[in-house]
Amino acid sequence: MKRFYDTELERLIRLHHSRLSEKEQRHYAAIEAQKLGHGGKRYIARLLEISTRTLYKGISELVSDRRCG
């Protein structure tokens, strides 16, 4: 797996993610993945131990929220 972040930052990302509500976790994962570009979605899904389906749901929710607001 390609690593975008060092071990300490990965630890902090996982810690922060674990403290969020389920919806907030999806949105946080989506934002992190979008920042990374190519390979980012797979990396974040593996890092946070979530499915890519969950990640895409978070992206979809954020895009939908942006259109509504």
User: Token pair for residue 2?
Assistant: 């390609």
Q: Is the dihedral of CA 26, 28, 32, 34 positive or negative?
A: positive
pLDDT at 69: 57
pLDDT digits (tens, 9 = 90+) for 2-44: 899 999 999 999 999 999 999 999 999 999 999 998 999 999 9
pTM reported for the whole predicted model: 0.89
